[in-house]
Amino acid sequence: MKRRWQVLLLCALGAATAAPTSVAAQWILVPMDGAQQNHLRAYGLTYWVLNQEEKGEWLLNYRGGSFLLPDLPGVRREAAFRGVTISPVDPPAEARIRATIAGGNMEAVPLERAPKIAIYTPPNATPWDDAVTMVLDYAGIEYEKIWDDDVINKDLNDYEWIHLHHEDFTGQYSKFYLTYAGAPWLQDEVARNQEVARRSGFANVPELKKAVAVKIRDFVEKGGFLFAMCSATETLELALAAGSVDIAAAYSDGTPPDANASSKMDWSQTLAFEGGQVQTAPSVSAFSDIDGHQVNTPWRKELGVYTLFDFSAKFDPVPAMLTQNHVAVLPDFYGLTTSFRIDRLKSATIVLGQEAGWAKYVHGNLGEGTWTYFGGHDPEDPEHQIGDPQTDLALHANSPGYRLILNNVLFPAAKKKKLKT
């Protein structure tokens, strides 16, 4: 898989604002500031246009990260069907937009084709278990589902963008047995994972999950785009760093974890974090000290707000793309992993959003690919509990938290540019 975007400098200002010659001069503007009545479905409209083999542009830092789409009858019909605010752009209006972009901290990034998306999710997962699945369904963006068998046995290069469901890659089932021991859904989950481990030739579930974590890391290194939320962020890293070290409480057979696991971890294999201290006490519902909020412990931190950083669209286009929004300060929300301690981040990790002393939203590169981690479970359900009703995104069509997810979905569609010489 060839990498479709790099963090690049522009050769010349004029190249940044020139319209692609293959796209008609007549455009439709999809505003992404306060004028937009449905921000989430605006991403779906843009994805739909790309999926029709048309092209568009992402106007970074212009009116909340607006989109320019070709003015075709089908696009207007789709916008009306989806309830997305649009406005026609004639040549004089286009010239004014491009002059504004050229003169400010803005950039026009060509969008070339819709990325192929996979969601790593359990076969029994309900749609409302995962914020990414919910918002893709609501926005009307196509995806496929994969699980451990697919990761182990198939070529992930068939996909350009993979999202990790809120999985525990340490194989401890998120320590749910502390609260939900005997619950039928947990027993089903244990049995299902043990069967996959047995079928795939692994001694136990922790070993299966470690192998899955390595395959996902390889996907990124070869040019893939990875997006993870909640516990998948922290536990993927712990599984990669653990190697042959037993860090799991091994819920399946009662084997105690290695009490000296923290000193044996190899953080050179991870993407974002280093130096984390593993929580090996089976009675404490936390994975490590990487998470700043420690939601299910007696030392839990209260929620506040997190702030998105302002990046140069011309010189830091990737971070700028991932932080496009109509607001800069957002309410925080819990997950099994809610935030990331700053002192546990590798030096190359880019902080995109931060609450107090914790990072909320981070990004980085590995080999030819990129990864993004977003702490928390559901941007519109601050204290999500198992069994809570589904979030109705029709009531949150302008959610700034869900916009961050969708920024990542469109990110692989951006055309890479040449390095400045």
- Whether residue 159 is found in the same domain as residue 221: yes
Q: What pLDDT is attached to residue 283? A: 79
Is the pLDDT at 391 greater than 70, yes or no?
yes
Q: Is residue 52 part of a domain?
A: yes
Q: Which of 111, 135, 166 is the last residue of a domain?
A: 111
- Whether residue 272 is found in the same domain as residue 308: yes
- Whether residue 182 is found in the same domain as residue 325: yes
Domain harbouring 93, CATH code: 3.30.70
Q: Is the pTM of this model over 0.85?
A: yes
Q: Is residue 341 part of a domain?
A: yes
Question: What's the number of domains the chain is made of?
Answer: 2
| Average pLDDT score over residue span 129-136 | 93
Those residues with Cβ within 8 angstroms of residue 224's Cβ, 6 or more apart along the chain or in another chain: 1, 156, 157, 159, 160, 161, 162, 369
- Whether residue 153 is found in the same domain as residue 286: yes
Q: Is residue 74 part of a domain?
A: yes
Is the pLDDT at 17 greater than 50, yes or no?
no
Say how far apart CA 271 and CA 345 lie, in whole Å: 9
**In this structure, what token pair is assigned to residue 227?**
């997006």
- Whether residue 83 is found in the same domain as residue 217: no
Task: Round the average pLDDT of the chain to a whole number and report it.
Answer: 89
- Whether residue 122 is found in the same domain as residue 57: no
Q: 254 or 23: which carries more pLDDT confidence?
A: 254
The least confident of 103-107, 141-145, 259-263 is 259-263
List pLDDT tens digits, range 302-336.
999 999 999 999 999 999 999 999 999 999 999 99
Q: How many residues does the chain have?
A: 421
Q: Is residue 418 part of a domain?
A: no
Q: Is residue 128 part of a domain?
A: yes
| Average pLDDT score over residue span 335-349 | 97
Q: Which of 61, 78, 111 is the last residue of a domain?
A: 111
- Whether residue 170 is found in the same domain as residue 308: yes
List pLDDT tens digits, range 77-109.
999 999 999 999 999 999 999 999 999 999 999
Say if CB 1 and CB 157 are below 8 A apart: yes
Q: Note down the domain range covering 122.
A: 117-413
Q: Is residue 69 part of a domain?
A: yes
- Whether residue 176 is found in the same domain as residue 107: no
Q: What pLDDT is attached to residue 24? A: 44
Report helix, strand or coil for 127. helix
Q: What pLDDT is attached to residue 60? A: 98
The band of 5, judged by pLDDT with boundaries at 50, 70 and 90, is very low
Say how far apart CA 57 and CA 110 lie, in whole Å: 4
- Whether residue 302 is found in the same domain as residue 186: yes
Distances (CA, A) of 331 to 93, 179, 354: 36, 28, 11
Say how far apart CA 396 and CA 418 lie, in whole Å: 38
Residue given tokens 């002393």 in the structure block? 357
Q: What pLDDT is attached to residue 183? A: 85
The band of 384, judged by pLDDT with boundaries at 50, 70 and 90, is confident
Q: What pLDDT is attached to residue 247? A: 84
Say how far apart CA 150 and CA 212 lie, in whole Å: 10
List pLDDT tens digits, range 223-254.
999 999 999 999 999 999 998 888 885 554 55
Q: Is residue 127 part of a domain?
A: yes
Q: Of 29, 133, 124, which Cα lies nearest the Cα of 84?
A: 29
List pLDDT tens digits, range 33-49.
999 999 999 999 999 99
- Whether residue 303 is found in the same domain as residue 287: yes
Q: What pLDDT is attached to residue 336? A: 93
Burial class (CB in 10 A: 0-12, 13-18, 19+), 348: exposed
- Whether residue 104 is found in the same domain as residue 123: no
Is the pLDDT at 2 greater than 50, yes or no?
no
- Whether residue 104 is found in the same domain as residue 220: no
Q: 87 or 5: which carries more pLDDT confidence?
A: 87
Q: Which of 87, 111, 135 is the last residue of a domain?
A: 111
